[in-house]
């Protein structure tokens, strides 16, 4: 353990030297141990402080939206970077994976009119593909949040946000694709067996579709999973000649989240 040979001399001096070395060794080990303990304590304090800070900066989650908050990264993958949402936004934003799909399907969508922009879930994905987006919402606070969210994704330069009523603005707009993600009437839509188009807000689906046609015949509608598919197909007959129509189911992690109807050139 201790090399007494290097010291030479008699046994007494050698053993005292050994003792000195042992005590030096013991002190070194003890001080190393206490240094380690101090380091561990410091780490523990840091971890506790970090935990407290995250807890304090965590938004207040009402029981109503807890379920949606748990899915926050499937709504916005960059949620932690400062995404803003209000209560309605939590249950009405289009899940990111589906919004990406909508954008990919908007072939030829030089200008996309997002008629019910909400938290910007769809507008952000249209803009991410380089389309120019006109994003409309009637609620100024939602437009503020959507604009903040678009900045986080670095696409705010591609989006013109407008606070207003889509029904009144539509006659003054032109675009390559009109995207409709109207309110479904809150989470209770799930309890309906057959969701008919008259249940859509702010007006029934037929009127919405006709108003959207003043912008372009290339229309995408994001609808509840329990929507009456026959009624959706009938919308294509509101145009003369009838528009191509295609309806797809949208799943996230194996759960059916909604159905999307594509009309005109965006239908396969
Ligand atoms: C289902 S949410 C849209 C969600 C959006 N796709 C997203 O990913 O965030 C419907 C939005 O329509 C807005 N809205 C309701 N009536 C409107 C109207 N007449 N004109 C424009 N926006 C309206 C609501 O404020 C709400 O934000």
Contacts of 176 (CB under 8 A, 6+ apart): 106, 108, 109, 110, 111, 112, 216, 218
Ligand 1 within 6 A of CB of 118? yes
Ligand 1 pocket test, candidate residues 72, 84, 138, most atoms within 8 A of CB: 138
Residue 4 or residue 96, greater confidence: 96
Distance 50 CA to ligand 1 centre (A): 37
Distance 109 CA to ligand 1 centre (A): 20
Q: Pick the residue whose CA is nearest to atom 5 on ligand 1.
A: 118
Q: Are 215 and 168 spatial neighbours (Cβ–Cβ below 8 Å)?
A: no
Ligand 1 within 6 A of CB of 81? no
Domain 98-266 has CATH 3.40.50.300: no
Distance 39 CA to ligand 1 centre (A): 53
Ligand 1 within 6 A of CB of 142? yes
Ligand 1 within 6 A of CB of 137? yes
Distance 143 CA to ligand 1 centre (A): 10
Residue 117 or residue 38, greater confidence: 117
DSSP per-residue letters across 73-90 = HHH-TTGGGT----HHHH
pLDDT digit string (tens) for 185-243? 999 999 999 999 999 999 999 999 999 999 999 999 999 999 999 999 999 999 889 99
Q: What span, in angstroms and rounded, lies between the C-alpha atoms of 180 and 161?
A: 15
> How does DSSP classify residue 195?
B
With a cut of 70, say whether residue 22 has pLDDT above it. no
What's residue 51's pLDDT?
61
pLDDT digit string (tens) for 1-10? 333 333 333 3
Distance 188 CA to ligand 1 centre (A): 17
- Ligand 1 atom nearest the C-alpha of 202 is 16
Ligand 1 within 6 A of CB of 95? no
Q: What span, in angstroms and rounded, lies between the C-alpha atoms of 131 and 220?
A: 15
With a cut of 80, say whether residue 96 has pLDDT above it. yes
Ligand 1 within 6 A of CB of 202? yes
pLDDT band at 37 (very low <50, low <70, confident <90, very high): confident
Q: What span, in angstroms and rounded, lies between the C-alpha atoms of 23 and 161?
A: 76
Contacts of 20 (CB under 8 A, 6+ apart): none
With a cut of 50, say whether residue 13 has pLDDT above it. no
Ligand 1 within 6 A of CB of 136? yes
Ligand 1 within 6 A of CB of 86? no
């Amino acid at each position: 353990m201790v090399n007494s040979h290097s010291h030479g001399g008699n046994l007494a001096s050698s053993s005292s030297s050994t003792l000195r070395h042992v005590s030096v060794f013991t002190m070194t080990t003890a001080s190393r141990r206490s240094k380690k303990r101090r380091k561990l304590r410091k780490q523990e304090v840091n971890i506790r402080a970090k935990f407290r800070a995250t807890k304090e900066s965590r938004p207040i989650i009402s029981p109503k939206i807890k379920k949606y908050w748990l899915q926050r990264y499937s709504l916005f993958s960059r949620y932690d970077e400062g995404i803003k949402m209000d209560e309605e936004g939590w249950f009405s934003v289009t899940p990111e994976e589906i919004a990406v799909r909508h954008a990919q399907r908007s072939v030829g969508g030089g200008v996309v009119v997002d008629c019910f922009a909400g938290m910007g879930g769809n507008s952000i994905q249209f803009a991410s593909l380089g389309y120019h987006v006109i994003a409309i919402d009637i609620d100024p606070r939602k437009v503020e949040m959507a604009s903040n969210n678009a900045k986080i994704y670095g696409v705010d330069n591609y989006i013109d946000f407008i606070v207003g009523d889509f029904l009144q603005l539509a006659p003054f707009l032109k675009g390559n694709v009109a995207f409709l993600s109207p309110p479904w009437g809150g989470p209770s839509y799930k309890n309906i067996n057959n969701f008919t188009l008259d249940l859509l807000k702010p007006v029934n689906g037929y009127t919405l579709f006709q108003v959207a046609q003043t912008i372009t015949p290339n229309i995408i509608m994001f609808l509840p999973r329990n929507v009456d598919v026959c009624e959706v197909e009938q919308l294509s007959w509101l145009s003369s000649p009838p528009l191509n129509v295609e309806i797809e189911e949208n799943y996230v992690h194996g759960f059916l989240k909604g159905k999307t109807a594509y009309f005109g050139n965006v239908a396969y």
